[in-house]
Copies of this chain bind each other. A is one copy, B any other.
């Protein structure tokens, strides 16, 4: 089987953390004889600087030709002034949309070694392990019509369209039900069906799908209540599924519950298991170039990539185990450091993971 990986370091801390993740990928590639071929590309601000746009055709062609994409992060103050249409974020959104990566898996896991990092009381988050499945190529992010127009009375109005078709809901729903089957068997679908028609249809489709998954217990929750419940008692959840916009908000909230967003990977999948993998934290321009960023979320994104897109579960497990080992050994980058631990740089953290492998 082909195992072509496109690496897109992007902006800010992207290149630093991706460099460490690539070292890890190279080592497991050799160790497990995976035959992974790695190619480099440009996206986001890095692509704007060279090609004048955040997603050049050449990058899109590379991405289409590979089996998986590993992305660092995009964006930064340098490109804050550029036109909305060619902002760095559009590179990310363009990849998601053009590659049909509709299924965004965002695990929020509390590492026992980092239990203190959470802002929640320990007993509420100990052992936290929830998965948010976010729809990624539809909803208000991509809905038409959209824009800013001038009304007859001379004032302007900005507008966007929140839209989901049954088939869009069905395919993300199936992905979520299947994820729940492999985990705790509980799925909570989040909507605002008491106000938004788009989510009335969403709820209907989820209820229909439930018949095909009798082993999964489906529940529904309004998005405002979901935000509350995440803060109040996050361990009540196993898998949550929701639309693009609600998923953006809730997955960041859930990630922050762990207190260590420098640790959390994500996967964005199409219908056939092709995927893009990235840390959920951003480009962190304030610490870029200092060599202090945490590469573990990106390294764990490599593990997800091996498992979901490259059919190499054993190698994935080896990486995840190695991360557990370095945490046990007390290695900490600045974002997860605490009293008595061993503060290391981005590269030293990479070294430690390699050693543990």
By the criterion CB–CB under 8 Å, are B252 and A227 in contact? Answer: yes
Q: Which of B121, B155, B164, B249 contacts A157, CB < 8 Å?
A: B164
> Is A87 on the interface with B (CB-CB < 8 A)?
yes
Give the residue of B146, B196, B253 whose beta carbon is less than 8 angstroms from that of A227.
B253
- Looking at the complex, which one of B84, B158, B252 makes contact with A228 (CB distance below 8 Å)? B252
A162 and B160 contact, Cβ closer than 8 Å, known pairs A119-B231, A245-B192, A253-B253:
yes
Q: Are A201 and B157 in contact (CB under 8 A)?
A: yes
A329: interface (CB < 8 Å) = no
Determine how many copies of this chain the complex contains.
2
Beyond A121-B121, A140-B196, A256-B228, whether A157 also contacts B147 by CB under 8 A is no
Contact A147:B192 (CB < 8 A) given known A249-B227, A255-B228: no
The answer to whether B156 and A165 have CB atoms under 8 Å apart is: yes
**Minimal beta-carbon separation of A164 from chain B (angstroms):** 6
Minimum Cβ distance to chain B for residue A193 (Å): 9
Q: Which residues of A contact B (CB under 8 A)?
A: 75, 84, 87, 89, 93, 119-121, 124, 140-141, 143, 146-148, 151, 155-167, 192, 194-202, 223-225, 227-228, 230-233, 245-246, 248-253, 255-257, 259, 261
